[in-house]
């Protein structure tokens, strides 16, 4: 059985992020370049303000095209602000369970409101893989 594991040992320490006032086109470039499905939106103090997903960007582009607008706008205009996050030293099993229940692929990790990392399904799979590997080696 997988025991409790500290989240900070497995999170991504440098999640892809963008400032809220940056253009949406910059956010799209970051998503494409980094091959991620979403990015964190922060202020100048690295405080988490929201999350911007591929779907948020696609909706913005389609709305802009439909309305024949040239400038799509800023990241803050399209980000999701109702974001589940977790604490730096949260229990990984609890976070994984909550992400699964809510159908989330990623979760920002905060320390005193500042973005310090991100946990994703891929990191969670790595934990399980390492646990299973250690279990086999122990026998």
pLDDT in tens, 1-38: 455 677 888 899 999 999 999 999 999 999 999 999 89
> Domain coordinates of the chain in residue numbers?
7-138
Q: For residue range 58-105, what is the model confidence (pLDDT) as tens digits?
A: 999 888 776 666 678 899 999 999 999 999 989 888 898 999 999 988
Instruction: Report whether 55 contacts 5 (CB < 8 A).
Output: no
CATH class of 7-138: alpha beta
38 CB contacts (<8 Å, ≥6 apart)? 31, 51, 52, 53, 54, 56, 105, 106
């Amino acid at each position: 059985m997988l025991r409790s594991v500290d989240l900070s040992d497995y999170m991504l320490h440098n999640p892809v992020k963008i400032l809220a006032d940056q253009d949406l086109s910059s956010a799209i470039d970051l998503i494409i370049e980094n091959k991620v499905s979403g990015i964190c939106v922060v202020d100048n103090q690295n405080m988490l303000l929201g999350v911007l997903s591929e779907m948020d960007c696609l909706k913005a582009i389609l709305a802009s095209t439909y309305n024949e607008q040239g400038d799509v706008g800023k990241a803050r205009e399209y980000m999701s602000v109702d974001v589940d996050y977790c604490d730096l030293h949260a229990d990984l099993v609890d976070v994984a369970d909550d992400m699964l229940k809510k159908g989330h692929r990623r979760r920002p990790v905060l320390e005193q409101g500042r973005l310090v990392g991100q946990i994703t399904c891929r990191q969670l799979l790595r934990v399980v893989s390492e646990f299973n590997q250690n279990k086999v080696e122990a026998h």
